Structure 1
Amino acid sequence: MSANQAEPGSPLTVTLVKGGRTKIGYPATVVSDDGVRLTVRAPWAADGVRDFGFVRFEPGDVLTEHYWRDRWYAVKEVRAADTSLKGWYCDITRPAVVRAGAVAVEDLDLDLWVSADGTTVLRLDEDEFAESGLADRDRQAADRAVQALDELELLARRGGLTALTGRPAGPARENGAS
C-alpha cells in the first residue's frame, strides 16, 4: 500500500470544495483504496431531508462514494435505510486528492442523477456551471468537466454505473466490505 492509500475500515473526512470554499465536510469509513479509486461509506451528512423532486435524501440514507485520483467525477451510490437502492448521484469534480485521513474534491457544479432502475438519467446544474465562470477562468478544466459529464451520461444510459463502481446493484453489504 502506498503512502497516499487509505486503509480499509479506517475513518476518513470527505471535504467537498466549491468556489474555493468548503461546501461540506463529513466523516466516512474507507471501504477500499487501490491507489486510483477510493471507495468510502458515509451516512447522509446534511441536516434533515433534501427533496430534489426526483429523489429524497434523508436521515438513514447511506452513500457508498467512489472517488478517482485520475478522473473528473465522483459517483455516489445512494441507499435508503432499508438498503434499497435509490440511485446514483454523480458529481463532476477535479480528480480527488487523498491524504492521510482525508479526501478532498473540488465540485465543478455539474451533476448527474441516475435512478435505481436506470430509466431516469438527469443532467443537473448546467445553469450553475455556465454562471460559475469556470470556462472563462480555466477553459481546460471546463472542457474536462463537460467531457466527464458526457462520459458518465453515456455510461449510465448503457447501464454501466455498477461496472464502473465495481459493485453489484444488490443490497449494501455490512461491515464496510465491498
Structure 2
Amino acid sequence: MYASSVEVALVKAGRTKIRYPADVVRDDGIRVTVTAPWAAPGVRDFGFVRFEPGDVFTEHYWRDRWFAVKEVRTGAGKLKGWYCDITRPAVLRDGELLVEDLDLDLWVSADGSSVLRLDEDEFEESGLTARDPAAADAARQALDELERLALAGGLAGLLAAPSPPGDAP
C-alpha cells in the first residue's frame, strides 16, 4: 500500500521553488500520481492559460523519466490543458516527493490545438549543458518526446493508468 498524501517539493537551481501537500491517487512503483489545488498565491497568467485559486492539478511524476505531466482543471472540472515540466526523475522518500525542475516546459491545450515549448532561453542560461551535459541531453530528449506525443494525438496514452497486479509498497 502507498501513502495517502505527500509533500511535493519542486527544486530549481538548488533551491526549493515551491512546496505543497498533495493527495496520492496512485503509486505503481514507477509513476506517482497526486492531486493538489493550485498551490501558488494568486493568479498566474501565462497569456495562453491562467492558473488560479480553485484550479485542481492531477500531477504525474515518474521515477524513470525526465518529465512530469500536470493535468489542469478548473474547480468545476473543466479541462484547461496539460503543463509538462522537464525534470530529473522524481524521488519519493519519507513522505516527500522531490522533483528537480530543469527549466524546460511544454504546454498542451485542452483541445490539443496548441502545443508550446516554453523556457528554452532559461534552460540555455541555466548552465546545465556545461555543468551536466548528460542531464541536459536527457532534458532535451524528454521535451522532444513529450512534444511528439502531444502532436501525435495527445498525452492520453502516456497518462492511461497502468493495471499492476497490486499496489507497490
Normalising to structure 2: TM-score of the pair? Answer: 0.93
Question: Partners of 1:89 and 1:138 in 2: how far apart?
Answer: 25
Aligned residue number for residue 131 of structure 2: 137
Question: Offset at 1:163?
Answer: 1.4
Question: Partners of 2:58 and 2:102 in 1: how far apart?
Answer: 20
Question: Partners of 1:78 and 1:51 in 2: how far apart?
Answer: 14
Aligned residue number for residue 158 of structure 2: 164
Question: Partners of 1:55 and 1:159 in 2: how far apart?
Answer: 20
Aligned residue number for residue 61 of structure 1: 55
- Which stretch of structure 1 is more off in the superposition, 70-79 or 151-160? 151-160
Aligned residue number for residue 25 of structure 2: 31
Q: Please list, as runs of the form range in 1=range in 2, the aligned pairs for 1:33-52 lying within 5 A after superposition.
A: 33-52=27-46
Q: Please list, as runs of the form range in 1=range in 2, the aligned pairs for 1:80-95 lying within 5 A after superposition.
A: 80-95=74-89
1:114-161 Cα distance to aligned partner (Å, 9 max, x none): 000000000000000000000000000000000000000000011231
Unaligned runs of 5+ in 2: 162-169
1:59-104 Cα distance to aligned partner (Å, 9 max, x none): 0000000000000000000000110000000000000001131100
Unaligned runs of 5+ in 1: 168-178
- Which stretch of structure 1 is more off in the superposition, 152-161 or 70-79? 152-161
1:16-60 Cα distance to aligned partner (Å, 9 max, x none): 000001000001000000000000000000011000000000000
Normalising to structure 1: TM-score of the pair? Answer: 0.88
Asked if structure 1 preserves the Cα contact closer than 8 Å seen for 2:58 and 2:71, the reply is: yes
Question: Partners of 2:119 and 2:22 in 1: how far apart?
Answer: 26
Query: Could you tell me which of 86, 95, 101 is aligned with 1:101?
Result: 95
Moved over 4 A (4+): none
RMSD, aligned CA: 0.9
Question: Partners of 1:159 and 1:50 in 2: how far apart?
Answer: 27
